[in-house]
Amino acid sequence: MSDTKNVVSESRTTPAYYSDFEKFHHPIRRPPSDPPSPLTGFIILFTSLTFLILGSYATLFSALVPRTGVWILDALADDNHYKYFAVLLVPTTAYFVIANWVGWQYYRNS
């Protein structure tokens, strides 16, 4: 009789799942993930600063300073059209990603 009580009490405390997939892939109870490493943060920071410096030089400073002799900087200074494309692509892409995400949230929650 004591074995029956233990089984009943365990079944009441354990949530009922329909399958093993739902047990391990529940949308609320996800296993904790590891945070990104500091190296990932430094890589993102370095590429962001590099893009900021090159974009600032291409759009703002290339008309004010003479040719440097570095082929990539001189190519950015000589270009009159595509140097703005790379800089303006970032906010445009961010806008469309955010708009897509909001639309997806409306779709999922409707």
Contact 55, 77 (CB under 8 A): no
Q: Which conformational region is residue 69 in: left (phi greater than 0), alpha (psi within -120 to 50 degrees), or beta? A: left
The secondary structure of residue 102, as a DSSP letter, is H
Contact 59, 80 (CB under 8 A): no
- Per-residue pLDDT tens over the stretch 54-90: 888 888 888 788 888 888 888 878 887 777 887 788 8
| pLDDT of 96 | 96
